[in-house]
């Protein structure tokens, strides 16, 4: 990704690993508070119960596509930065300051009404995606820049700890209860203060200017990404419109019919989106490595489930247990905390398994386990079973994340590993958009319990796609 800017001999202290990774805490905290609690509640307030899924799906679609482009753009710019203050820290500082202002403005937005409120929220949330990815682009370059190669395993372990369980604990135990009591301004203030503290600690990282000037900016990968994103977005928008137009014609049909329509639309979006994206970037070469195509389809199908279970959890809890929005927010904050804890716990076991057993079968198994977790969520009659479901899905996510990524390293061309692994991530970035934009329409007509069942089917589709992956000869 970047040229090495720190000599391998430089010694890092224990606190350096914290400074380098502390902004990951802020980024996850921001995502969980906004996407998991604040934005769904505000959308529901502005548009009402009947259309909240559709409107939330729309805002998620454009927010995720904005994030995808901005992260790539700011990553490219930070790679070529020659600022005396540091190559990455100015991006982190500016992104955090802008994001703090945007998050605090949500307290004012909450006082608005109707479509005016939704329109303002839409614009501010897109700007939030710009500022947060300005910060993230700088953050993700710190480990390659300042951590010597032999120490990057330790740095990555600290990153995982700060990125996954710890911010979820803060959300579940502190911020979500504030939201559930109707104290949104205080919840937003706590979020901003925590983010600014993390940013301040990151400013203590000892960056050095690159010893050699970077080469000229190569805009070709970014322009390719813009085209990929445009094609992917058009596919999702088109399928979403087909679903919207077909539902009124099927008025009176069973919920199973509506669920089947949603699953088919998501499946087409996954397959068509992947084939279109890979064709745009790789051309005919994408046909020469069908296993890579199946791998990305497998990952995208699973991520459609994983990402959108988290995004629509609040609405699901409201419907299943007949709770008002603010009260449901407390449980919607605790369940991701449980899931995150089990991701860490099972992540160690998953890494051991993926080094000893067939990674393709482990990837397929993760999809089956995820489907079981969703089934517990859907049919479980009480709240304790929701915690069990979160634990099972945490196991599935840990196994999927480790095994599928390792499987990817087995089947991609070794001489182009960075390009292919990056493309794998970029192609999967539409997961949240597919599930939210298409699934939200179905949920408004047939409910969020059905929507969660659809995500369980996506886990099964992921498990099936994994079986078509073959190692390169």
Q: If phi over 0 gives left and psi between -120 and 50 gives alpha, with beta otherwise, what is residue 423? A: alpha
Quick one: pLDDT at residue 210? 64
The answer to whether the CB of 370 falls within 8 A of the CB of 468 is no
**310 and 198 within one domain:** no
For residue 212, being part of any structural domain is answered with no
Quick one: pLDDT at residue 256? 85
For residue 452, being part of any structural domain is answered with yes
The answer to whether the CB of 305 falls within 8 A of the CB of 432 is no
**203 and 228 within one domain:** no
**433 and 354 within one domain:** yes
Quick one: pLDDT at residue 6? 46
Of 158, 166, 154, give the one whose Cα is nearest residue 340.
Answer: 166
For residue 323, being part of any structural domain is answered with yes
For residue 39, being part of any structural domain is answered with yes
**193 and 90 within one domain:** yes
Quick one: pLDDT at residue 194? 96
Rounded to the nearest 5°, which phi and psi values hold at 288? -85, -10
The answer to whether the CB of 74 falls within 8 A of the CB of 137 is yes
For residue 29, being part of any structural domain is answered with yes
**222 and 128 within one domain:** no
The answer to whether the CB of 8 falls within 8 A of the CB of 83 is no
- Of 146, 172, 207, the residue at which a domain comes to its end is 207
CATH of the domain at 314: 1.20.1250.20
The answer to whether the CB of 313 falls within 8 A of the CB of 41 is no
Place of tokens 């990968």: 221
What lies within 8 Å, CB to CB, of 346 at 6+ separation is 394, 395, 398, 399
For residue 36, the 8-state DSSP code is I
**238 and 130 within one domain:** no
For residue 300, being part of any structural domain is answered with yes
Domain coverage including residue 223: 218-473
What lies within 8 Å, CB to CB, of 116 at 6+ separation is none
C-alpha span between 256 and 247 (Å, rounded): 13
**294 and 201 within one domain:** no
Quick one: pLDDT at residue 108? 95
For residue 213, being part of any structural domain is answered with no
The answer to whether the CB of 97 falls within 8 A of the CB of 469 is no
Place of tokens 């969660």: 452
C-alpha span between 363 and 181 (Å, rounded): 41
**182 and 229 within one domain:** no
201-217 b/e with 16+ CB inside 10 Å = b? bbbebebeebeeeeeee
C-alpha span between 153 and 4 (Å, rounded): 16
pLDDT one digit per residue (tens) for the chain, 473 residues: 444 444 445 677 888 889 988 999 999 999 999 988 999 999 999 999 888 999 999 999 999 889 888 887 888 787 777 777 778 899 999 999 999 999 999 999 999 999 999 999 999 999 999 999 999 888 888 887 788 867 776 777 788 778 878 898 899 889 989 998 889 999 999 999 999 999 999 999 888 766 666 667 777 777 877 888 888 888 889 998 898 888 887 777 788 888 899 899 999 988 888 888 778 767 776 666 788 888 888 988 998 898 889 889 999 999 999 887 778 888 888 898 888 888 888 877 887 887 788 889 999 999 999 999 999 999 999 999 999 999 999 999 888 888 887 787 777 766 565 556 656 666 666 777 888 889 888 888 888 999 999 999 999 999 999 998 876 54
Q: 255-282 and 220-249 helices cross at what angle (nearest 10)?
A: 160
C-alpha span between 367 and 347 (Å, rounded): 15
**224 and 188 within one domain:** no
- Of 207, 242, 267, the residue at which a domain comes to its end is 207
**276 and 178 within one domain:** no
For residue 195, being part of any structural domain is answered with yes
Per the structure, the count of domains in the chain is 2
Residue 180 is inside which H or E element, if any? helix 176-180
**240 and 168 within one domain:** no
Residue 177 is inside which H or E element, if any? helix 176-180
Instruction: Evaluate if pTM is beyond 0.95.
Output: no
Instruction: With H, G, I as helix, E, B as strand and everything else as coil, classify residue 113.
Output: coil
**276 and 421 within one domain:** yes
- Of 207, 226, 256, the residue at which a domain comes to its end is 207
N residues, the chain? 473
């Amino acid at each position: 990704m970047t040229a090495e800017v720190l000599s391998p001999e430089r010694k890092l202290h224990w606190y350096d690993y914290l400074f380098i990774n502390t902004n990951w805490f802020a980024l996850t905290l921001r995502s969980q508070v906004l996407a998991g609690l604040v934005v769904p509640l505000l959308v529901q307030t502005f548009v009402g119960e009947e259309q909240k899924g559709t409107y939330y799906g729309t805002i998620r679609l454009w927010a995720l596509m904005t994030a995808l482009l901005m992260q790539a753009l700011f990553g490219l710019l930070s790679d070529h930065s020659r600022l005396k203050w540091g190559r990455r820290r100015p991006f982190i500082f500016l992104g955090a300051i802008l994001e703090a202002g945007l998050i605090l403005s949500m307290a004012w937005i909450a006082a608005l009404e109707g479509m005016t409120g939704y329109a303002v929220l839409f614009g501010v949330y897109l700007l939030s995606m710009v500022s947060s990815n300005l910060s993230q682009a700088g953050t993700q370059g710190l480990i390659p820049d300042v951590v010597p190669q032999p120490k990057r395993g330790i740095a990555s372990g600290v990153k995982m700890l700060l990125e996954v369980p710890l911010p979820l604990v803060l959300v579940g135990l502190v911020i979500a209860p504030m939201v559930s009591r109707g104290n949104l301004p205080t919840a937003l203030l706590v979020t901003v203060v925590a983010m600014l503290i993390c940013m301040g600690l990151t400013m203590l990282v000892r960056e050095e200017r690159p010893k050699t000037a970077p080469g000229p900016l190569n805009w070709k990968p970014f322009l390719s990404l813009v085209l990929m994103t445009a094609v992917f977005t058009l596919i999702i928008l088109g399928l979403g419109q087909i679903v919207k137009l077909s539902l009124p014609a099927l008025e009176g049909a069973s919920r199973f019919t509506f669920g089947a329509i949603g699953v088919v639309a998501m499946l087409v979006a996954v397959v068509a989106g992947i084939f279109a994206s890979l064709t745009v970037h790789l051309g005919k070469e994408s046909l020469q490595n069908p296993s890579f195509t199946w791998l990305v389809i497998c990952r995208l199908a699973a991520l459609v489930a994983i990402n959108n279970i988290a995004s629509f959890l609040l609405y699901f809890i409201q419907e299943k247990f007949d709770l008002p929005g603010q009260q449901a927010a407390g449980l919607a904050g605790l369940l991701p905390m449980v899931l995150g804890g089990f991701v860490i716990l099972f992540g160690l076991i998953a890494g051991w398994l993926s080094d000893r057993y067939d990674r393709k079968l482990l990837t397929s198994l993760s999809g089956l386990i995820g489907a079981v977790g969703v089934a517990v969520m859907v049919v479980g009659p009480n709240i304790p079973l929701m915690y069990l479901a979160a634990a099972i899905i945490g196991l599935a996510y840990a196994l999927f994340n480790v095994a599928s990524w390792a499987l990817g390293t087995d089947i991609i061309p070794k001489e182009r590993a960075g390009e292919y692994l990056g493309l794998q991530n970029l192609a999967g970035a539409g997961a949240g958009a597919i599930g939210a934009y298409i699934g939200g329409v179905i949920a408004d007509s047939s409910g969020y319990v059905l929507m969660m069942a659809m995500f369980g089917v996506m886990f099964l589709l992921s498990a099936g796609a994994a079986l078509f992956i073959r190692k390169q000869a």
